[in-house]
Structure 1
Amino acid sequence: MSHPDSEPDVAAHHEPSWRAGLKDGTPTLFGIGAWGLVVGVAMVKSGLTVMQALGMTLIVFAGSAQLASLPLIAAAAPIWVIFLTAVVVNLRFVIFAALLAPHFAKLPLLRRFLLGYGAGDMTTAMFLQRYPSEKPEEGKVSYLRGLLYPNWFAWQIGSIAGIFLGSAVPAEWGLGFAGTLAIVCITVPMVATRPALVGALVAAVTAVLAHDMPYKLGLLAAVIVGMITAMVVEEQIERRKAAND
């Protein structure tokens, strides 16, 4: 038995926290599965074989990066362009990692790696909402697992179903358009602040103007220019707030 004044073992299994994580994450599972379905179909329709698509969904586990890289793969773009595009699209996970790291700094490296691999946008947000403080607290790992495990399985089930569905349905069904709609549905709620809105608009204009660039580099340029614009706008807003204070 641990001493009353000792820090709680955040890594120990805590059944109530596990059930709480499972309960909080369950409402998102249908949307995660549907999003995985769209990505699975898109992978096959982009020219990947079933085995290649299965490998990608199991290893990469990042829908936005997968969709961003698929046109580049189909266009036979250089590997560095594909890799850099995926990294840029997923730069937000650097922020997620920085937010989660203090909560699990004492865990072994492999366990932190596995938790990081499974963490996503929704699961990270829900965890930080429940545990805003970085201080050690019993049940943190169990709660995060209750979010991550069902989320991962929902994604994989949807994605694998999409892979086999995509290899069976005719191209004229317009599933590529469905994928575009899915991206729009995910993107719109994220554009909730002025910097994000300005960045998204600048990225859209850049993507149109740079449409004819080789190897789909216009997409990468749009992402980079949009991110830089959003950062500049956010910095200007912070400066104005500081000046007013």
Structure 2
Amino acid sequence: MSSTFLALRRRPEFREGARDMLGITLGISAWGLVTGVAMIKSGLSLPLALMMSLTVFAGSSQLAALPLLAAGAPLWVLWATAFCVNLRFVIFSAQWRFYLGHLPRRWRLFTGYFAADLNYVAFMRRYPEPKPADEPALAYFWGGVALNWSAWQVPSIAGILLADRVPTEWGLGFAGVLALLGLTYSLLSDRKSWISAGVAGCAAVASYALPLKLNIVVAIAAAVAMGLLLDHWMPDARKPEEAVK
């Protein structure tokens, strides 16, 4: 596996993938820093926070889980929230299989850990035709992944290690909201995503009074439901033979 990765790293597409991710790494890094600080401020120990950052590698579910941990929410609420927040990866995976389904299972499992939202967006823009990824496409994928993973983990770990020195009055929570808004805007690429985001926002506000931050779960469920309905009502304008490739 390591020799294959080194071979991909030498290809020019690897550098192209990293370059395409470079423009959005500032938002990713800000989000990672805020999440690292938030983990410690929420009461997690240093080892647990480091383990969560390295193993979960999903900032939105981490930020959704932290208020629940601080509030002493039941474990089923925590799991249900994380599950709902990460449902989008099921949709991403359904599309990834056209590109990565031919790889050995160990490679697919390894790739699944790194396949994040913005890597998906950048890759689909570069390779819109759903077909098995060749070596240049895989090199592009891993170039974006390498930068995205580093841009998240380095600031996140820095936030964990320096959290005790960061005053609460700095307003890092608001900085995290701004970082999330910037990343969200980059994902709103068509009318369907804008409508789904609007429905999620309205649902979150309407259910704000629910305990244990359950309005987050309601907003996610509403957005997913609206996205599925829009996919049914407004199918992509692709030829039938292209949709089944």
TM-score by length of 1: 0.81
| Residues 1:104 and 1:225: Cα distance change in structure 2 (over 3 Å) | closer
Counterpart residue number, 2:78: 82
The answer for the alignment partner of 1:104 in structure 2 is 100
1:219 is aligned, of 216, 221, 227, to: 216
CA distance in 1, matches of 2:132, 2:204: 43
Task: Report whether the alignment pairs 1:120 with 2:116.
Answer: yes
Structure 2 matches for 1:226-237, cutoff 5 A? 226-237=223-234
Is the contact made by 1:195 and 1:233 (CA closer than 8 Å) also made in structure 2?
yes
Q: Does 1:137 align with 2:131?
A: no
- CA distance in 2: counterparts of 1:180 and 1:85, whole angstroms: 19
| Letter in structure 2 aligned against 1:204 | G
Q: Distance in 2 between matches of 1:12 and 1:103?
A: 20
Q: CA deviation at 1:218?
A: 2.2
1:32 matched to 2:2:
no
1:147 pairs, out of 144, 147, 157, with 144
Structure 2 alignment gaps of length 5 or more: 236-245
- The structure-2 alpha-carbon separation of the partners of 1:29 and 1:209, relative to structure 1 and needing over 3 Å to count, comes to closer
Provide the C-alpha distance between the structure 2 equivalents of 1:136 and 1:175, rounded to a whole number of angstroms. Answer: 40
Matched, 1:207 2:201: no
Please give the per-residue CA displacement for 1:94-146, whole angstroms capped at 9, x wherever unaligned.
Answer: 12212222222232212111111111122122223333331453333222222
Measure the CA separation in 2 of the matches of 1:231 and 1:49. 39
1:49 to partner: Cα distance: 2.1
Q: 2-side partners of 1:214 and 1:66: how far apart? A: 19
Gaps of 5+ in 1: 1-9, 239-245
Corresponding residue to 1:169 among 158, 163, 166: 166
Map Cα deviations across residues 63-118 of structure 1 (whole Å, 9 max, x no partner): 11111111111111122211221121122211221222222223221211111111
Using a 3 Å threshold, how does the CA distance of structure 1 residues 172 and 106 change in structure 2: closer, same or farther? same
Deviation at 1:32, TM superposition (A): 2.2
In structure 2, the partner of 1:20 is 16
Q: Look up the SS of the partner of 2:165 in the other structure.
A: coil
Number of positions where the alignment pairs a residue of Structure 1 with one of Structure 2: 230
1:57 counterpart letter in structure 2: S
Q: Secondary structure at the match of 2:24?
A: helix
Amino acid at match of 1:183: L
Q: Which has the larger radius of gyration?
A: 1
CA separation in 2, counterparts of 1:200 and 1:178? 20
Residues 39 and 215 of structure 1: CA distance in aligned 2, closer, same or farther (over 3 Å): same
**Distance in 1 of aligned mates of 2:205 and 2:84:** 19
Q: Do 2:27 and 2:179's aligned partners in 1 also have CA atoms closer than 8 Å?
A: no
TM-score scaled by structure 2? 0.81
> RMSD of the alignment, in Å?
2.5
2:44 alignment partner in structure 1:
48
| C-alpha displacement of 1:216 | 2.1
Amino acid at match of 1:58: L
Give identity over the alignment, percent.
43
